[in-house]
């Protein structure tokens, strides 16, 4: 499937119409989604009408946007006007009256929203499965999970239904499914993308952003959606064009690599250790100063766990029918009752201190290279019958390298690193300084050019 950049170039030049592009995406969804279960809802009629509006506007002389005619899917936790924001469950029944601000910005840039994607309820665990929507399956191997919580978006993009989709990341939920499905997934700096109409996403932990097949597609979407809105609790620092960053050489960087997990009791799969070591060699061959480091990770428990529970409880408090929440979600809400506002605020203060400690690694390096996840993708249905505690333990290998950077707020990207003997993708993680997305995009694009990756669709 063509990239978002290629599609926009062809629709803008008149080679293709937006209607043709959207019809092709809808056909691919109809053909491919059945066994994969990426789509929560397909907005076929609305997408056709929106595409026709894009074509009519250009015919009338309106300058097309940078995403003109590009079909995009949206994770269920993000409001799309006329759709119920399900958060992956059945506890809401009233359609959203208006788009979330980032969806509004996508439309203003010319994108066409073709549907919403599956997620575990409230994104609580890094496996995309729920009572409401069932199991979402990895397109590389349907017996395996695509990861989560943005698993539906990852599957839709990896399988070739759409070129790009929106996910969210509160503990790795963009990077984990990107790694599992062979995609590029950048978690941006805290506060880079507005969370409006909500003031935050899981307090200091969460942010939204795209999953894509190419680095440039991710940059293109970020340039369309980034920036703040009134009421946002967090704001990112000043940065330049992400598209320009993805198109330029990064220069010679100091890159420190480590396979040491930030989470205790987790050992990385040898496949992931090898991916880091091989990437370190690629980077060295590209002229970077590459060496092993000890990041001396701080313990994030006091900051992450209260915000995790506070995030789930704040979203659960917003639903219309709390009794319809899944059993495991209700258990999680109960177990988090100890997270009072006072405890939550203490966790936010701990977040600020931990961010300072975590960022000390950047005193000696420009970019940190690690695995994205510790283990290979689990079997689909791994959470069946399990409660909150057991599910949390199963999640630890997935978040062992990712969640720290939600607490610290730094940008971090999962970058494909090849295909392992099990037939599934491998990935590495690049972590940047505060507000360092431009460096990560330049470096990831350089690696993409040196070591091209592929997708199953």
For residue 143, the number of C-alpha atoms closer than 13 Å in the C-beta half-sphere is 4
CA 248/CA 230 separation, integer angstroms = 33
- The helix (H) or strand (E) run that includes residue 426 is strand 425-432
Q: Which residues pair with 117 in a beta bridge?
A: 39, 75
CA angle 306, 309, 312 (to 5 degrees): 145
Q: Is 173 an active-site residue?
A: yes
Structure tokens at 147: 């990861």
One of 40, 75, 218, 314 is an active-site residue; which one?
Answer: 75
What do you get for the CA distance between the two ends of the chain, in Å? 7
Reference 443, options 434, 452, 454, 430; nearest CA is: 430
Q: Is 212 an active-site residue?
A: no
CA 239/CA 438 separation, integer angstroms = 8
Q: Which DSSP symbol is given to 258?
A: -
CA 60/CA 70 separation, integer angstroms = 19
One of 149, 212, 218, 355 is an active-site residue; which one?
Answer: 149
3-state secondary structure at position 21 = helix
- The torsion region of residue 240 among left (phi > 0), alpha (psi -120 to 50) and beta comes to beta
206 vs 20, 80, 395, CA distance in Å? 35, 19, 17
One of 40, 150, 173, 180 is an active-site residue; which one?
Answer: 173
- The helix (H) or strand (E) run that includes residue 359 is none
CB atoms under 10 Å from CB of 196, counted, come to 16
Please give the positions annotated as active site: 75, 149, 173
């Amino acid at each position: 499937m063509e990239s978002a950049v290629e599609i926009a170039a062809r629709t803008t030049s008149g080679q293709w119409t937006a209607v043709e592009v959207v019809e092709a995406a809808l056909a691919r969804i109809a053909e491919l989604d059945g066994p994969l279960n990426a789509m929560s809802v397909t907005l076929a009629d609305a997408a056709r009408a929106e595409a026709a509006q894009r074509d009519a506007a250009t015919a009338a002389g309106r300058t097309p946007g940078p995403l003109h005619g590009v079909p995009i899917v949206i994770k269920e936790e993000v409001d799309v006007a006329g759709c119920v924001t399900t958060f992956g469950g059945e506890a809401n029944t009233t359609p959203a009256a208006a788009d979330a601000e980032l969806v509004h910005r996508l439309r203003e840039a010319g994108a066409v929203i073709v549907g919403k994607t599956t997620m575990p309820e409230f994104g609580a665990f890094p496996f995309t499965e729920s009572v409401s929507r069932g199991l979402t399956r990895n397109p590389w191997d349907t017996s395996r999970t695509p990861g989560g919580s943005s698993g539906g978006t990852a599957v839709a993009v990896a399988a070739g239904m759409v070129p790009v989709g929106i996910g969210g990341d509160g503990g790795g939920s963009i990077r984990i499914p990107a790694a599992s499905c062979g995609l590029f997934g950048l978690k941006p700096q805290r506060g880079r993308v507005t969370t409006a109409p909500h003031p935050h996403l899981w307090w200091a932990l969460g942010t939204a952003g795209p999953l894509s097949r190419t680095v440039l597609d991710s940059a293109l979407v970020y340039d369309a959606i980034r920036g703040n809105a009134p009421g946002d609790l967090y704001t990112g620092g000043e940065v330049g064009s992400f598209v320009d960053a993805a198109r330029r050489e990064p220069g010679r960087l100091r890159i420190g690599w480590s396979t040491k997990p930030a989470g205790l009791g987790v050992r990385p799969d040898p496949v992931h250790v090898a991916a880091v070591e091989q990437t370190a060699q690629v980077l060295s061959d590209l002229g970077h100063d590459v060496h092993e480091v000890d990041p001396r990770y701080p313990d994030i428990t006091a900051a992450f766990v209260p915000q995790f529970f506070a995030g789930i409880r704040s979203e659960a408090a917003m639903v219309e029918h709390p009794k319809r929440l899944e059993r495991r979600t209700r258990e999680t809400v109960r177990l988090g009752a100890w997270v009072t506002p006072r405890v939550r605020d203490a966790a936010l203060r701990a977040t600020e201190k931990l961010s300072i400690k975590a960022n000390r690694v950047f005193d000696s390096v420009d970019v940190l290279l690690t695995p994205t996840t510790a283990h290979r993708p689990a079997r689909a249905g791994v959470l069946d019958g399990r409660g909150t505690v057991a599910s949390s333990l199963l999640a630890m290998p997935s978040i062992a390298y990712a969640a720290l950077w939600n607490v610290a707020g730094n940008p971090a990207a999962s970058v494909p690193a090849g295909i392992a003997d099990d037939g599934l993708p491998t990935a590495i993680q690049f972590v940047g300084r505060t507000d360092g997305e431009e460096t990560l995009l330049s470096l990831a694009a350089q690696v993409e050019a040196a070591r091209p990756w592929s997708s199953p669709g």
